Amino acid sequence: MPNLRGLTLDAACPRIIVPLFAHSLDALRPLAEAACADPAADIVELRLDPLPEADFSAALALVHGLTGKPLIATIRTAAEGGELALTPDAYAAHCRALLAEGGVDVLDIEWKACGAYRGELRDAARAAGAAALFSEHHFDETPATDEMTRTLIGMADAGADIAKLAVMPRSAADAARLLEATARAAEACPNTPLITMSMGPIGAVTRFCGGAFGSVATFGVTSGTTASAPGQPAAGVLREKLYVRE
């Protein structure tokens, strides 16, 4: 399992990831400072897609220098709910450039968007000393339970160091199915950390109890930061209410 600057990922004690979502370097700096100062934040995610592409390198250097916490570098494409439309070639090129800069502890690799580059980017991340996180997002639905389970297992079988799945529920039953799929995949792939969540108000409960079903981390916002997906609660509230296995 990945060891992120001495931080382990274990569903028995899920970690809190704080996303940094800003449209300029000037706006990014106070967010990074806030995440650094919040003891509830275990890991920081730098969302690069809201920024101008020319600022990616400077943004990575800024956050790496300020937070001192494990850093996930993420370019969320428009196809997966992000703010940047990229071809697979351009997406892969940006990911390679980030790894070359250094300071990346985890590289988010979109399971669908990267297409034929999955294996290459996974290996490049590891060569750079980073964990390869395969991710998939459904902002308009919750797929069938078997499909979600297969997706997570498929990521693990493809060599993901971490597998992530986020879905949008239309009912409480949808949120429950996400937890069921997580539990199934965790049992099938016990050596691959999973990060799963059902988004929005209906799915909010999954961000607090996901550890009971095998999710090793959840996302929350800290003072002054902005949610990067619907339903992310305050990191401090997560710390107080998060399920931790006794």
* Residue in 131, 124, 129, 128 with CA at minimum distance from that of residue 155: 131
**CB-hemisphere CA count at 13 Å for 45?**
25
Q: Report how far Cα 110 is from the mean position of its chain's Cα atoms.
A: 10
Based on the residue annotation, tell me whether 69 is a catalytic residue of this protein: no
Cβ–Cβ < 8 Å for 13, 193 = no
Q: Report residue 176 as tokens.
A: 């429950």
Q: What is the CA radius of gyration of the chain?
A: 16
Measured in degrees and rounded to the nearest 5, phi and psi for residue 107 equal -105, 120
* Residue in 246, 165, 170, 162 with CA at minimum distance from that of residue 212: 246
Choosing from 69, 94, 138, 164, the catalytic residue is 164
> Residue 106 forms beta bridges with which residues?
72, 131
Cβ–Cβ < 8 Å for 110, 91 = yes
Q: Report how far Cα 89 is from the mean position of its chain's Cα atoms.
A: 22
Q: Report residue 125 as tokens.
A: 């991340």
Instruction: Determine the 3-state secondary structure of 86 from DSSP.
Output: coil
Based on the residue annotation, tell me whether 164 is a catalytic residue of this protein: yes
Choosing from 23, 137, 138, 241, the catalytic residue is 137
Which are the catalytic amino acids? Answer: 137, 164
